[in-house]
Amino acid sequence: MSNLAYFEVPVDNIERAKNFYSSLLNWKIEPTKTPGMTMEYYDITTGEAKEGTLNMGGMYRRQDPNANLLTYAMVDDIDEAIKKVTRLGGKILIPKMTIPNVGNIVTITDSEGNPLGLWQPGMM
């Protein structure tokens, strides 16, 4: 079973969005500490980790005007998951890529056209 593990929020105005989410939900939003990240990216902590909750995400300046919030499901074997996507009626939107110190990710659409990220964590 694959749990939802991460989410990303594309925004047009970083400061405005940081203010919105931190004021409304008390989220902690700080520049990422991920080594090698070349884009302006912020880590989001939504609160204390509790069983059954997702407590981390990211925020970045929107580059694609059609980009929306994206949720990632954690998978054990991303290559096996990718093989299943088209067989099950989905599509690959953004091919698999490796992010150092994070792991492998791929962006897909499900059988109904909804975007979803798949993430296989790497060695931290």
The answer to whether residues 6 and 55 belong to one domain is: yes
Note the pLDDT tens digit of each residue in 2-42.
Answer: 788 899 999 999 999 999 999 888 899 999 988 888 889 99
Mean pLDDT of the chain: 89
The answer to whether residues 1 and 54 belong to one domain is: yes
The answer to whether residues 56 and 83 belong to one domain is: no
pLDDT of 60: 93
Q: Is the pTM of this model over 0.85?
A: no
Q: Which residue has the tokens 């979803």?
A: 116
The answer to whether residues 52 and 113 belong to one domain is: no
The answer to whether residues 30 and 79 belong to one domain is: no
The answer to whether residues 20 and 65 belong to one domain is: yes
Q: What residues make up the domain containing 26?
A: 1-69
Strand pairing category for 56-61 and 41-45: antiparallel
Note the pLDDT tens digit of each residue in 54-65.
Answer: 889 999 999 999
The answer to whether residues 59 and 82 belong to one domain is: no
Of the candidates 65, 61, 59, the residue with the CA atom closest to the CA atom of residue 13: 61
The answer to whether residues 118 and 85 belong to one domain is: yes
The answer to whether residues 90 and 112 belong to one domain is: yes
User: How far apart, in whole angstroms, are the C-alpha atoms of residue 14 and residue 47?
Assistant: 20
Q: What is the CATH number of the domain that holds 63?
A: 3.10.180.10
**Count of domains forming the chain:** 2
- Mean pLDDT, to the nearest integer, of 95-101? 93
